């Protein structure tokens, strides 16, 4: 129950006579169990803007193109996916205490595999600490976590790469329909 995700809409911000701020949230989801468990006690909560997930249709199309591109480039489709993520993928981010969106970056000694920290990553630099070489990385989200906008950028990148090697892609109108289906698929 703790850590439960509930989707809703911010409805109102008002002030009580005692000066407390009252934030009203509306939802179509049942909150009864949450209320029964936590009631009128001190809580910690986090609210963030809801993003529509990428459509499964767009994801299927992306993978179909990746498979064709892998054949054309004579490479492994999973390795190609990782390279496309590095080039067109969305960074992992978090919101800091001031409400700023911050890209997740990390540094590892050169002999430590980055997959021990992040599933997807891109090398962004290097440096030395006490004479030891460290590699700096940017953490990248997998497409299953993408918003519609992030998937759109990724899909456009795949289409561009396919066109560069002569792979026929769907028309811009059809691709637009895939993008319009986000949130429905």
| Domain contains 1 | yes
Work out the burial of residue 58: count CB atoms within 10 Å of its CB; fewer than 13 is exposed, 13-18 middle, 19 or more buried: buried
Q: Is there a contact between 109 and 133 (Cβ–Cβ < 8 Å)?
A: yes
Q: What is the CA radius of gyration of the chain?
A: 22
pLDDT in tens, the chain (185 residues): 456 777 788 888 888 889 888 888 888 877 888 888 888 888 887 777 766 555 677 788 899 999 999 999 999 999 999 999 999 999 999 888 888 899 999 999 999 999 999 999 999 999 999 999 999 999 999 988 888 888 889 999 999 999 999 999 988 888 887 766 654 44
Q: Specify the pLDDT at position 182.
A: 53
Q: Specify the pLDDT at position 53.
A: 58
> Does 28 share its domain with 108?
no
> What's the domain range around 26?
1-50
| Domain contains 185 | no
Residues in the chain: 185
| Domain contains 16 | yes
> Does 82 share its domain with 130?
yes
Helix, strand or coil, per DSSP, at residue 75: coil
Q: Examine the fold and report which residue of 10, 34, 50 is the final residue of a domain before the chain moves on.
A: 50
Threshold 0.85, pTM exceeds: no
> Does 85 share its domain with 126?
yes
> Does 42 share its domain with 60?
no
Q: How many domains does the chain have?
A: 2
DSSP string over 21-67:
EEEEEE-SS--HHHHHHHTTS----------PBPPHHHHHHHHHHHH
> Does 117 share its domain with 161?
yes
């Amino acid at each position: 129950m703790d850590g439960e995700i509930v989707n809703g809409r911010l409805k109102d911000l008002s002030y009580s006579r005692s000066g407390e701020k009252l934030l009203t949230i509306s939802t179509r989801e049942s909150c009864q169990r949450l209320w029964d468990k936590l009631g009128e006690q001190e809580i910690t909560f986090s609210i963030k803007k809801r993003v529509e997930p990428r459509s499964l249709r767009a994801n299927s199309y992306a993978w179909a193109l990746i498979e064709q591109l892998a054949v054309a480039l004579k490479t492994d489709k999973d390795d190609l996916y990782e390279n496309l993520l590095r080039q067109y993928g969305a960074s992992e981010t978090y919101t800091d205490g001031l409400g700023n969106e911050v890209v997740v970056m990390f540094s590892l000694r050169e002999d430590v595999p980055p997959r021990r920290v992040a599933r997807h990553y891109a090398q962004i630099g290097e440096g030395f600490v006490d004479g030891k070489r460290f590699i700096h990385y940017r953490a990248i989200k997998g497409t299953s976590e993408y918003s519609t906008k992030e998937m759109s950028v990724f899909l456009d990148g795949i289409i561009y790469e396919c066109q560069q090697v002569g792979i026929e892609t769907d028309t811009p109108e059809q691709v637009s329909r895939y993008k319009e289906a986000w949130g429905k698929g």
